[in-house]
Structure 1
Amino acid sequence: MNQIDPTQYASWNEMAKTIALVAWAISILIALYHVVKLATMGDAKSKYDYINRMEIKTLWLASIVLIVGCCFWANSNIVELNALWIFVRGFVTFAMGMIVALIIQNLLKFYYPFFIEKRLKVLRYKPRVSPKTGKAMKLLSEEEEDAYLDEGMQAEEDVFSIDYDVWKDEETGYVKIERYSGHLHALQCPECNYQTFKVVREEILKAPSLDQEGELLKHYQCGYCGYKAKKTVTLRTSQKFEESSAATA
């Protein structure tokens, strides 16, 4: 009977462990970089934009690198190997890695946005500090901010493609205008309750005039279950908008 030499695959085992440790270290560094970058951002709007644009992507990248490290670690204890074992180990490692990656992807896509949305709301409405006086500025109402938005900006808000927040230092008159996507963030789907209900299309049914209101039809669709709904919105020239009906399938 042939004796198995436990040191036969020592080089591979050592290399696999090293790759796993390096991958884990990189994964941790990616996450730490994200945390440190956020901590060093003083402006709430900059934090808002960075979280909105990069947080899920960064966590997904860190997760993939972490999973790769786990796959190498799981194959760092080889004492016997042949063609069948190579196939079995490769298949099982790939399958388990894909399952874990799919679970994490679903968590980041369907559950994590609830957490992000709460943080973004806090950042968006956190009082801004005037660089002139160092005091808190006032967030103007929809009617008040029109005086500081040009016609193009108001038109963007009227069709909900862009939303503007106007902060004003009432002591010095300093004004800060912040730009946000009008329907970038998904809502909670009334059918499946995931945060995947988004505006996919808008159409103006009737343009507003000085003496007559207009109508805008917003088409929603859930990115998870496919549920669709429509909402009619009243457009006015003197006011921003007034939602006139609830979503209907």
Structure 2
Amino acid sequence: MKDTKVIFRIMLLAVVLLAGGTAWGEKVYTPADVPNPNIADRSQYVADPAGYLSPEAKAEVNRQLAEVRKATTAEIAVAILPSIGDETVDEFAPELFKQWGLGKKDKDNGMLLLIDIGGKKARIETGYGMEGVFTDAFCSELLRGDLFPRMKENDVDGGVKAVIAHISAVATNPEVRDEIMSELADGQAGLTEEDIETLKEVAWNLAMIVFFAGLCIFVYKVVKTRGKDRYEKALAWRGSLVMLGGAALFSGGMALPLFLIAYILYRLKRNKPLRCPKCGKKMRRLSEKADNAYLTPAEDLEEQIKSVDYDVWECPACHTIEKYAYRSPQTKFAECPACKTVAYEMVSDEVRVKPTDISQGIGVKTYKCRFCGHTKEEQYKIPRLEAAAAAAGAAAAIGSSLSDSGSSGGGFSGGSSGGGGASGGW
């Protein structure tokens, strides 16, 4: 008799364990546990880690929500979870909404359908930009009219599809579409006022840094040119113009006075009349056409190709000639290592040995002086095709991550919940 009672108790316990095992083994989700489906694949809008939706229903819901996003920029997502523990759907939904950043920042046109299977509860959470169309009363009707009757019949597919179809039809209606449409393009997150203020602060700090860098350059030139002759001062101030010009640009104009002063000093030093070193008379600067008679063939070529500009000064009394060279801020011509003429340029760049998957290639750049004809070849290595392909692949991956098309990843756009919507149970 005792054995029969023991067996009966064991069987009863087994039945209880089998009946309650599923519930006891359910994972309790927090908002942080729920993966954003849209990050890895931009075509996915449903988080269903336990697989309550059939593949066909999930595909249909994703298709509809993608069309809504394309037509209206509104970002709507679905989360179906086995259990959210002791947290209510009214607490859970806003947290998940914020974590995913549903909707555009300028419009807050996001919406979330959260279904807690274990608690038999659901909530529709809306952003501010959706509340004018999807009112609390309307959201309540979606739950009580479309979702809950089907959930009572364990028809998760039918319930979710009915709600999303209803939302899609309303959102894409031309009469209300403009009300929820963001001005930001899809995939463009936009900036909040806080973001803009932060950017302004960063820009101001960077501008100040650039300004003080320009000021340091200016002061350095002032100190460096003390005691120098007019030609050396002209060269020094001329050499600072590119840096001070960049400082003026990237400091938002704060360094512009420094650039203008440097330019004026450069012109004054370059154009200041000279005294003849022999007789002391004032010299005059010759025109570009007249000074050619006093230039060497190499110097004449440099002026023709605009690599160097020469100032030629002549004394009207004793006809003494003084020449001053000002190299142009260009990168095409360099100084020839043979004749020192600034007419040395690259004339060809060819591949001598093609790279392969296992070996580097060899390229040859040929340089030649336009004046003396001095020629030199310089070899360089070409990366292996595998390395080049890897670099191209990395660039493609970056481009893909920034792309809005296809099913590449991306996520939502940083919108916020407005606290509107409705919740209930079945």
TM-score, structure 1 normalization: 0.38
